[in-house]
A = this chain, B = another copy of it.
Amino acid sequence: MSRLDSFIRRLEAQRACLDLAAHLVRELDGDVLELGLGNGRTYDHLRQLFPDRKIYVCERQVAAHPNCVPPAEFLILGDMRDTLLSARKALARRVALAHLDPATGEGAASRALAAEVTPLIIPLLRPGGLLVSEPAIAWDGLSPLPLPKSVAPGRYNLYRCVSYQSSP
């Protein structure tokens, strides 16, 4: 399998998981949190899935397509390991769906970042809220959900927040 093949599979898995997650939270009020803007393609997809929700976006430095830059009031600028802590006051238990895709291209680096930010994301999730994540996350308060049929196990991940335990 070429890197082009695996990249296409990862994007298809991301889209399928986000589409399913949008369906699963349709009855759950709350905001959306995108952890990393990048070029803004996934943010644009979230915008279409959630036209009526606030979508907050963490990003170190905006480098997205000009049409895919969130309004300033929803942009959380800086290193998310700092900003997610500061955002807790405003967003605690208000997020229905969070999406984490470090897109580092390296599994180990993605998992390391996920391990650092998971404890900062959990307190923002509503009870029953979802976390869609490229790296797998082991955390007591997160319960893995079945993936879309088109997505092979481990290629992308979908979790429901079942408790607010502060450590695994």
Contact = CB atoms under 8 A, between A and B. Distances in A.
Contacts of A14: 4
A4 B8 contact: no
B12 A44 contact: no
Q: In the A-B complex, list the 4 residue pairs whose CB atoms are closest, starting with the nearest.
A: A4-B45, A2-B45, A3-B44, A3-B41
Kindly state the interface size class of chain A when it binds its partner.
Answer: 20 to 34
A12 B8 contact: yes
Interface in A85-135: 105
Contacts of A48: 2
A68 interface: yes
Contacts of A47: 2
A71 to B, nearest CB: 17
A26 interface: no
Number of copies: 2
A67 B15 CA distance: 27
Contacts of A65: 3, 105
Given A8-B8, A8-B12, A12-B8, A2 B44 contact: yes
Interface in A59-97: 65, 67-68
A47 to B, nearest CB: 7
Nearest to A64: B3
Given A8-B15, A15-B8, A3 B40 contact: yes
A47 B8 CA distance: 17
Contacts of A11: 4, 7-8, 11
A3 B105 contact: no
A154 to B, nearest CB: 20
